[in-house]
């Protein structure tokens, strides 16, 4: 049963990720990038970061195709655009998973052991921050502080906060989301 | 303007950076990221010095001189800072110098020695990196990268290719093509200038050692070697000679001792190229063909043109490069004459170039189902093999190359310098148009190291504009003009590497501009002292036409010596 699920999600990812049917979403995303670029006619390299931000807003992440399109629009080499984009934490290069896991690495959470929590999540999901699991279920993101220091160490899954997370509790939390999808 | 350095007075020029004044004054300050002719980045901090009146150490590469400034270049503080920098770089560097192709020729290793680093002071996790073996010509080993940025700069500023850039931030920073793809699907054109820029072994050529040794050991194979015009004036440097010494004679001897069955000179094929290319030029001029004709000897340029200027491909000469032409002749008419099956001829080229490895691999550069060239060794690789076999060029007597493809004119030899192909083509085009030789065959305006050289030359009553351009950023600028309709040029020679093949990506590492100039001058001297200075007077080329090829532009010539191009879309 689980294998079948994985295969289905792999297909969805190739078509641009997310939960919509095959084909449809890819075409729509393309139109949105063109729309973003059309808002910046004749832009120079100083417009690079605002454009990347708008593309990410429209698309959810920066795909290879969109980076190349932005590069062409600004007459910059794709290597340069990719270099700038990877310099900043705010840009991601894989579509978000069904569940986006944010791990707070702010000062209070750090003191309360958030590094071990992050390690546990990386180990269980087998992804690095900024990446998405192959089945498209979870994406992992490190954030500086989500303003819940009293609950440290804290993680948020699609905006739902989990307080006082110990590394050994991580598996149970993630499993509860897996079960939700299966149900 | 005067400055005081280590208590001695030095002359400085207003507006220049301190490092320039120090170098001119003979004060050695180490650098890792400084590049001749480019703006400083101040990235590596190796060149830090103490300047009286400033608080911290300053990077001399990016610190302008001031009248009367007092500088200490080797104070305890400055030297300790440099040593710490090297120790920090080594903390994330593999300790495998013994196995590194840059062993004994590594700037990081030299600095560690100079500064007396004798132990690994900083212990810590190393950033893991993946070897990129995807390219047919350049191998990237990011493990050995110290992030000086010189490869990124040469790729962007000199070549305008920008195949690689810094990716990520902080301790995760690395140099890679966009999306961390392999070099083979990037916009890389295989020129190898990044290898020359790299201070460590992070960038090296893809080695063809094994193919060559296997062929030499195989009794069925007739192993034939050709060496390019620019190799004989540089390989001596790897055996202790000063730049600009021509060692063609001992090079022939060494190649024979290595076990090659025949030793030929690619300059012969350069003469052959000129016969075809000058014929093509005259045809195009007479028949209103596509002009300017643009040369196609340089595979990195051809790759660049296919990628960046697909609309200009009809301008490119359909001639294969000399290495491919000679390979094609060797595996057809030469094989027949030698009584060997063409597939048993194994052609090795010694090239100043990494892109030649890429070119030899191309499906369009084959004939009758056979690759024209089977293996390509750079100048550096050949020197390594010679040493590996216990040979030393200094102990050998000069020998001539083998006939028939050892005979060359000095015009063919000029191919090794930017402007040389053009000069050789002008000499022969003049003869083809007027039926007479030029009064003075030297075309001074297209010689030397400048990136763009232009001239007007007279072929009898016909006057044409010509240009020689080297460095792909310079080529890009000129091609943009051609695309926009510039029409005063009949021929353009393009070489990807600044100065041409004498400064190719396969040449000895560590040459400065003076060394490149000396290498060029060696070729000009050979031409000056030569009795035979035009390709069309090469009797063995003539004989090849008479006996096998017919005439320039014939059907057989097209079959073996010409090729075609197609637009190529680099993924990133």
Residues B179-236: pLDDT tens digits?
A: 999 999 999 999 999 999 999 999 999 999 999 999 999 999 999 999 999 999 999 9
The reported pLDDT for the residue numbered B540 is: 96
Q: Token pair of A12, please?
A: 């969805």
pLDDT at A2 > cutoff 80: no
The candidate with the shortest Cα–Cα distance to A71, out of A92, A95, A91, A55, is A55
Residues of B within 8 A of A80 (CB-CB) are 156, 162, 165
Contact B127/B174 with Cβ under 8 angstroms? yes
Closest chain A CA to residue B161? A77
Q: Where does B227-316 have alpha helices with state H?
A: 248-257, 266-287, 299-308
pLDDT at B472 > cutoff 90: yes
Interchain proximity A79–B187, CB inside 8 Å: yes
From chain A residues 42-71, the ones with a CB under 8 A of any chain B CB are 64, 67-68
What letter would DSSP give residue B505? T
- Chain B interface, best mutation among A61, A77, A94, by max B CB count within 10 A: A77
- Chain A interface, best mutation among B128, B165, B169, B304, by max A CB count within 10 A: B165
What letter would DSSP give residue B135? S
The reported pLDDT for the residue numbered B474 is: 98
ipTM, 2 decimals? 0.90
The reported pLDDT for the residue numbered A28 is: 57
For residues B382-394, one letter each, b for 16 or more C-beta atoms within 10 angstroms of the residue's C-beta and e for the rest, the string is bbbbbeeeebebe
- Sign of the dihedral defined by the CA atoms of residues B250, B253, B259, B261, in that order: positive
Closest chain B CA to residue A86? B168
Interchain proximity B178–A79, CB inside 8 Å: yes
pLDDT at A103 > cutoff 70: yes
Beta-strand relationship, B366-367 and B370-371: antiparallel
Q: pLDDT of B116-136, one tens digit each?
A: 999 999 988 888 888 999 999
Residues of A within 8 A of B168 (CB-CB) are 86-87
Contact B135/B192 with Cβ under 8 angstroms? no
pLDDT at A6 > cutoff 70: no
Q: What is the C-alpha radius of gyration for chain A, rounded to an integer number of angstroms? A: 18
- Shortest CB distance from B178 goes to which of A82, A87, A88? A82
From chain A residues 139-158, the ones with a CB under 8 A of any chain B CB are none
Q: Give the Cα-Cα-Cα angle A133, A135, A139 (nearest 5 degrees).
A: 30
The percentage of chain B sitting over the pLDDT mark of 90, rounded to a whole number, equals 95
Tell me how close the Cα of B92 comes to any Cα of chain A, in angstroms: 20
Instruction: Give me the mean pLDDT over the B343-367 stretch.
Output: 96
Residues of B within 8 A of A64 (CB-CB) are 179, 572
Instruction: Give me the mean pLDDT over the B461-466 stretch.
Output: 95
Instruction: Give me the mean pLDDT over the B106-115 stretch.
Output: 97
Beta-strand relationship, B452-459 and B375-378: unpaired
The percentage of chain A sitting over the pLDDT mark of 90, rounded to a whole number, equals 74
Closest chain B CA to residue A80? B165
pLDDT at A14 > cutoff 50: no
The reported pLDDT for the residue numbered B572 is: 79
The reported pLDDT for the residue numbered B26 is: 96
Closest chain B CA to residue A81? B178
- Shortest CB distance from B165 goes to which of A67, A68, A79? A79
How many Cβ atoms are within 10 Å of B259's Cβ, its own excluded? 14
Average model confidence (pLDDT) across chain B: 96
Closest chain A CA to residue B174? A83
Q: pLDDT of B396-405, one tens digit each?
A: 999 999 999 9
pLDDT at A9 > cutoff 70: no
Q: Tell me whether A82 touches chain B (CB under 8 Å).
A: yes
Q: Tell me whether A22 touches chain B (CB under 8 Å).
A: no
Residue whose tokens read 């079960």: A179
Tell me how close the Cα of A12 comes to any Cα of chain B, in angstroms: 21
Q: Where does B455-512 have alpha helices with state H?
A: 472-483
Q: pLDDT of A146-169, one tens digit each?
A: 889 999 999 999 999 999 999 999
Beta-strand relationship, B8-11 and B58-59: unpaired
- Shortest CB distance from B163 goes to which of A79, A81, A87? A79
Instruction: Give me the mean pLDDT over the B461-473 stretch.
Output: 97
pLDDT at B284 > cutoff 60: yes
DSSP states along A127-174: --TT-B-TTSSEEEEEES--S-GGG-S-EEETTEEE-S--GGGHHHHH
Q: Tell me whether A130 touches chain B (CB under 8 Å).
A: no
Give SS3 for B150: helix
In whole angstroms, give the CA distance from residue A42 to residue A27.
25
The reported pLDDT for the residue numbered B268 is: 97
CA distances from B304 to B349, B476, B486 (A): 22, 9, 20
pLDDT at A183 > cutoff 70: no
Residues of A within 8 A of B304 (CB-CB) are none
Q: pLDDT of A120-143, one tens digit each?
A: 999 999 999 999 999 999 999 999
Interchain proximity A81–B178, CB inside 8 Å: yes
In whole angstroms, give the CA distance from residue B43 to residue B39.
12
Beta-strand relationship, B452-459 and B462-470: antiparallel
pLDDT at B489 > cutoff 70: yes
Backbone phi, then psi, for A168, in 5-degree steps?
A: -75, -10
The percentage of chain B sitting over the pLDDT mark of 70, rounded to a whole number, equals 100
Tell me how close the Cα of A127 comes to any Cα of chain B, in angstroms: 16
What letter would DSSP give residue A92? -
Instruction: Give me the mean pLDDT over the A49-68 stretch.
Output: 95
- Shortest CB distance from B572 goes to which of A68, A86, A88? A68
Tell me how close the Cα of B473 comes to any Cα of chain A, in angstroms: 13
Tell me how close the Cα of B26 comes to any Cα of chain A, in angstroms: 38
Tell me how close the Cα of A131 comes to any Cα of chain B, in angstroms: 13
pTM: 0.91
Closest chain A CA to residue B160? A77
The reported pLDDT for the residue numbered A180 is: 87
Q: Token pair of B322, please?
A: 């000399």
- Chain A interface, best mutation among B172, B178, B185, by max A CB count within 10 A: B178
- Shortest CB distance from A83 goes to which of B161, B165, B187? B165
Interchain proximity A83–B167, CB inside 8 Å: yes
- Which are the catalytic amino acids of B? 277, 280, 297, 317, 356, 359, 364, 501
Backbone phi, then psi, for B431, in 5-degree steps?
A: -65, -40
Q: Give the Cα-Cα-Cα angle B450, B455, B459 (nearest 5 degrees).
A: 145
Interchain proximity B165–A77, CB inside 8 Å: yes
Q: What is the C-alpha radius of gyration for chain B, rounded to an integer number of angstroms? A: 25
The reported pLDDT for the residue numbered B128 is: 82
List CB contacts of B541: < 8 A, sequence separation 6 or more. Answer: B268, B271, B272, B275, B407, B535
In chain B, which residues touch A (CB < 8 A)? Answer: 156, 161-169, 177-179, 186-187, 572
- The least confident of A128-137, B251-260, B314-323, B501-510 is A128-137
Q: What confidence category does residue A30 fall into, taking pLDDT thresholds of 50, 70 and 90?
A: low
Q: pLDDT of B289-347, one tens digit each?
A: 999 999 999 999 999 999 999 999 999 999 999 999 999 999 999 999 999 999 999 99
In whole angstroms, give the CA distance from residue B502 to residue B518.
9
- Chain B interface, best mutation among A65, A79, A119, A128, by max B CB count within 10 A: A79
Closest chain B CA to residue A90? B168
pLDDT at B138 > cutoff 90: yes
pLDDT at B150 > cutoff 60: yes
């Amino acid at each position: 049963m689980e294998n079948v699920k994985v295969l289905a999600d792999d297909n969805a990812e190739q078509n641009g990720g997310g939960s919509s049917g095959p084909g449809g979403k890819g075409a729509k995303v393309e139109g949105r990038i063109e729309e973003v670029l059309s808002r910046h006619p004749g832009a120079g390299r100083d417009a690079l970061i605002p454009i990347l931000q708008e593309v990410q807003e429209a698309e959810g992440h920066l795909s290879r195709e969109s980076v190349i399109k932005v590069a062409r629009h600004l007459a910059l080499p794709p290597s340069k655009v990719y270099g700038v984009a990877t310099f900043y934490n705010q840009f991601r290069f894989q579509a978000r998973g069904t569940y986006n896991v944010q791990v707070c690495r702010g000062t209070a959470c750090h003191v309360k052991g958030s590094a071990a929590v992050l390690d546990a999540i990386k180990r269980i999901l087998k992804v690095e921050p900024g990446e998405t699991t192959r089945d498209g279920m979870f994406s992992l993101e490190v954030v500086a502080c989500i303003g819940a220091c009293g609950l440290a160490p804290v993680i948020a899954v699609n905006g739902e906060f989990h307080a006082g997370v110990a590394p050994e509790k991580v598996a149970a939390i993630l499993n509860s989301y897996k079960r939700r999808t299966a149900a | 303007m005067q400055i005081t350095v280590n208590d001695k007075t030095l002359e400085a020029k207003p507006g220049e950076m301190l490092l320039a004044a120090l170098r001119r004054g003979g004060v050695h300050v180490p650098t890792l990221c400084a590049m001749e002719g480019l703006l400083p980045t101040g990235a590596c901090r190796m060149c830090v010095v103490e300047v009286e009146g400033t608080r911290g150490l300053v990077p001399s590469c990016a610190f302008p001189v001031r009248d009367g400034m007092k500088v200490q270049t080797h104070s305890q503080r400055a030297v300790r800072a440099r040593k710490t920098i090297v120790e920090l770089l080594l903390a994330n560097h593999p300790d495998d110098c013994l196995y590194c192709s840059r062993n004994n020729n590594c700037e990081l290793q030299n600095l560690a020695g100079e500064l007396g680093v004798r132990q690994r002071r900083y212990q810590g996790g190393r950033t893991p990196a993946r070897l990129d073996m995807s390219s047919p010509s350049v191998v990237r080993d990011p493990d050995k990268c110290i992030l000086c940025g010189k490869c990124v700069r040469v790729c962007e500023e000199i070549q305008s290719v920008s195949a690689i850039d810094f990716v990520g931030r902080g301790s995760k920073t690395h140099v890679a093509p966009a999306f961390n793809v392999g070099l083979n699907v990037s916009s890389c054109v295989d020129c190898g200038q990044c290898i020359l820029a790299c201070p460590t072994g992070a960038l090296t050529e893809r080695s063809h050692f094994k193919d060559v040794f296997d062929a030499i050991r195989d009794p069925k194979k007739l192993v034939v070697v050709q060496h390019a015009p620019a190799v004989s004036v540089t390989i001596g440097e790897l055996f202790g000679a000063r730049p600009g010494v021509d060692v063609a004679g001992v090079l022939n001897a060494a190649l024979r001792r290595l076990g090659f069955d025949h030793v030929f000179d690619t300059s012969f094929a350069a003469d052959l190229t000129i016969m075809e290319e000058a014929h093509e030029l005259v045809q195009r001029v007479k028949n209103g063909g596509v002009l300017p004709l643009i040369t196609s000897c340089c595979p990195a340029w051809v790759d660049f043109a296919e990628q960046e200027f697909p609309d200009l491909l009809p301008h490119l000469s359909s001639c294969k490069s000399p290495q491919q032409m000679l390979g094609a002749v060797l595996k057809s008419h030469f094989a027949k004459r030698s009584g060997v099956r063409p597939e048993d001829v194994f052609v090795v080229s010694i090239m100043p170039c990494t892109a030649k490895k890429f070119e030899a691999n191309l499906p369009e550069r084959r004939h009758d189902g056979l690759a024209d060239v089977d293996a390509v060794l750079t100048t550096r690789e050949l020197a390594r093999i010679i040493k590996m076999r216990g040979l030393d060029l200094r102990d050998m007597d000069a020998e001539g190359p083998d006939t028939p493809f050892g005979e060359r004119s000095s015009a063919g030899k000029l191919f090794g310098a930017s402007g040389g192909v053009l000069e050789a083509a002008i000499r022969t085009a003049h003869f083809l148009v007027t039926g007479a030789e030029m009064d003075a065959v030297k075309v001074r305006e297209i010689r030397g190291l400048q990136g763009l050289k232009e001239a007007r030359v007279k072929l009898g009553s016909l006057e044409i504009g010509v240009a020689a351009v080297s460095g792909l950023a310079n080529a890009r600028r000129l091609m943009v003009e051609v695309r926009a309709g510039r029409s005063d040029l009949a021929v353009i020679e393009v070489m990807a590497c600044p100065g041409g093949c004498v400064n190719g990506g396969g040449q000895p590492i560590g040459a400065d501009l003076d060394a490149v100039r000396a290498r060029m001058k060696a070729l000009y001297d050979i031409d000056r002292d030569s009795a035979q200075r035009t390709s069309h007077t090469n009797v063995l080329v003539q004989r090849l036409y008479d006996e096998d090829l017919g005439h320039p532009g014939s059907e057989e010539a097209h079959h073996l010596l010409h090729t075609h191009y197609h637009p190529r879309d680099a993924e990133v």
